[in-house]
Amino acid sequence: MFKINENYLKLPGSYLFSTIGKKVAAYSSANPDKSIIRLGIGDVTQPLAPAIIEALHKAVDEMGKKETFHGYAPDLGYEFLRNAIVKGDYESRGADIKADEIFVSDGAKCDSSNIQEIFGSDNKIAVCDPVYPVYVDSNVMAGRTGEYNKETETWSKVIYMPCTKENNFTPELPKETPDMIYLCYPNNPTGSTITKDELQKWVDYANKVGAVIIYDAAYEAYISEDNVPHTIYECEGARTCAIELRSFSKNAGFTGVRLGFTVIPKELKCGEVSLHAMWARRHGTKYNGAPYIVQRAGEAVYSEAGEQQLKEQVAYYMNNAKTIREGLISAGYEAFGGINAPYVWLKTPDKMTSWEFFDYLLEQANIVGTPGSGFGPSGEGYFRLTGFGSHEATVEAMERIKRL
Ligand code: MLT
């Protein structure tokens, strides 16, 4: 009889956003007359910007002509997109990243779960708690996390770095030395961020202890304050310890289009072995590249018109985040985030657990959010709302909450 990967059996429950989806579907079919406002999963609601639509149309037409048709994309992505990324995301920040250090993919969720494949199965991971569940679950699947403790909802071999209001949602350097450190800034789910000096401490630490940082910067476009780094490569020494993950989902509304990239500097090595070469080998073997059409759409994100239109789109979502944050505060809640990130993180009232508050909000106000405990044990007693809804729905949600 064949054997299965038994690590999968260790995973508790279903993926967070699938669980929420099922609960909401059940509520909605039992209460078809209710108008539900969805501020749960961080999915965008605004249409693609005109510059992107134009690029998509043009690329579709090219695919219809023999002379301009494109088959398999190059392994690492088309030069035109990688050059645009370097110019738009790195050179402009004074970060030394070259086009051949960029690996274009179909999104940061896949990259953030796949990247662990190139590391040894006995490496120890450190994660912020709460955390985007993909980092932990993908390591569970790979057998890197030890045993699950139902009581504490933690894995025996994972180093958890609590991020709560007591430490201003900033993790401390762990006491036990990790091999792989996952950081996400601006942070999902807490909406907090990190200063350049604080991030430099992590880079120095990783270089000192020989750890690799997997830095998820999917929400970079939402940074509004000056001392917040846009890429980890603004920090000195990051080229020898950090991998950066980026997405087009949140800055350009590509959640349904799919495009992202991973940066692996050539100096990042384990002894003599280059992680860049390993990821290139993995990419070449397991992946045939994001579609030409989509990569042309990605290029348009960096065009003058694209940049301007997307700035407005980000401002639209950030105005929602502000509406949520201020609405919650005026309704008497403690609310965090929403300044450099599209997420607002709130403390649940009256000692309700995160899931109790989820049910309460769904049943009493017909609003869907995300329970903080779904992101890790330190998320218990917190709740996440996103600024990605429409403005009208966001305003209406705040009115409902105030009336509760
Ligand atoms: C979230 O809601 O945390 C995000 O939508 C998840 C994701 O981007 O995959």
pLDDT (0 to 100) of residue 14: 81
Ligand 1 binding residues, C-beta < 6 A? 41-43, 109, 132, 188
Query: Which residue type is seen at 51?
Result: A
- Residue 1 lies inside a defined structural domain of this protein: no
Asked if residue 200 and residue 81 are part of one domain, the reply reads yes
Asked if residue 202 and residue 69 are part of one domain, the reply reads yes
pLDDT (0 to 100) of residue 13: 81
Please tell me the residue having the least CA distance from ligand 1 atom 5: 42
- Tell me the angle at which helices 354-365 and 16-30 cross, rounded to the nearest 10 degrees: 30
Please tell me the residue having the least CA distance from ligand 1 atom 1: 42
Asked if residue 366 and residue 243 are part of one domain, the reply reads no
Look-up of token digits 């690492």: 76
Q: Cite the annotated binding site by residue number.
A: 15, 42, 72, 108-109, 132, 188, 219, 247-249, 258, 288, 384
Please tell me the residue having the least CA distance from ligand 1 atom 3: 42
CATH code at position 134: 3.40.640.10
Can you state the percent helix, strand and coil of the chain, rounding each to 5? 50, 15, 35
Report the C-alpha gap between 89 and 347 in whole angstroms. Answer: 34
**Cα–ligand 1 centroid distance for 139 (angstroms):** 18
**Polymer length in residues for the chain:** 404
How crowded is the C-beta side of 240, counted as CA atoms within 13 Å?
12
pLDDT (0 to 100) of residue 272: 96
CATH code at position 382: 3.90.1150.10
- For 44, 88, 195, 402, the CA distances from 318, given in Å and listed in that order, are 12, 21, 20, 20
- Residue 198 lies inside a defined structural domain of this protein: yes
At residue 274, the 3 state secondary structure works out as strand
Asked if residue 154 and residue 115 are part of one domain, the reply reads yes
Report the C-alpha gap between 265 and 242 in whole angstroms. Answer: 8
Residue 17 CA: nearest ligand 1 atom is 2
Rounded (10°) CA dihedral 86, 342, 161, 263: -10
Which of these, 83, 54, 59, 81, lies nearest to 70 by C-alpha position? 59
**Pocket of ligand 1, candidates 15, 16, 17: which has the most ligand atoms within 8 Å of its Cβ, to mutate?**
17
Please tell me the residue having the least CA distance from ligand 1 atom 9: 109
Asked if residue 118 and residue 139 are part of one domain, the reply reads yes
- Residue 2 lies inside a defined structural domain of this protein: no
Provide the total of helices (H) and of strands (E) in the chain, helices listed first: 12, 17
Asked if residue 197 and residue 334 are part of one domain, the reply reads no
Which pTM value belongs to this model?
0.97
Asked if residue 287 and residue 155 are part of one domain, the reply reads yes
ipTM summary value: 0.93
Q: Got the DSSP string for 290-342?
A: S-HHHHHHHHHHTSHHHHHHHHHHHHHHHHHHHHHHHHHHHTT--EEE-SSSS
Asked if residue 71 and residue 31 are part of one domain, the reply reads no
User: Terminal CA-to-CA distance of the chain, rounded, Å?
Assistant: 57
Which of these, 178, 189, 263, lies nearest to 219 by C-alpha position? 189
Asked if residue 341 and residue 364 are part of one domain, the reply reads yes
Non-local (6+) Cβ contacts of 264 within 8 A are 101, 103, 243, 275, 276, 279
Using a 10 angstrom Cβ sphere, with 0-12 exposed, 13-18 middle and 19 or more buried, the burial of residue 126 is: buried
pLDDT (0 to 100) of residue 15: 84
DSSP 8-state symbol, 67: G
**Cα–ligand 1 centroid distance for 216 (angstroms):** 12
Give the number of domains in the chain: 2
- Residue 133 lies inside a defined structural domain of this protein: yes
Please tell me the residue having the least CA distance from ligand 1 atom 4: 42
Last residue of one domain, picked from the residues 274, 304, 334: 304
Q: Which domain holds residue 378?
A: 7-47+311-403
Q: What is the pLDDT along the chain (404 residues), one digit of tens a residue?
A: 999 999 999 998 888 889 999 999 999 999 999 999 999 999 999 999 999 999 999 999 999 999 999 999 998 999 999 999 999 999 999 999 999 999 999 999 999 999 999 999 999 999 999 999 999 999 999 999 999 999 999 999 999 999 999 999 999 999 999 999 999 999 999 999 999 999 999 999 999 999 999 999 999 999 999 999 999 999 999 999 999 999 999 999 999 999 999 999 999 999 999 999 999 999 999 999 999 999 999 999 999 999 999 999 999 999 999 999 999 999 999 999 999 999 999 999 999 999 999 999 999 999 999 999 999 999 999 999 999 999 999 999 999 999 99
- For 122, 150, 192, 255, the CA distances from 377, given in Å and listed in that order, are 23, 11, 18, 28
**Cα–ligand 1 centroid distance for 251 (angstroms):** 13
Asked if residue 297 and residue 185 are part of one domain, the reply reads yes
pLDDT (0 to 100) of residue 329: 97
Residue 189 CA: nearest ligand 1 atom is 3
Please tell me the residue having the least CA distance from ligand 1 atom 6: 42
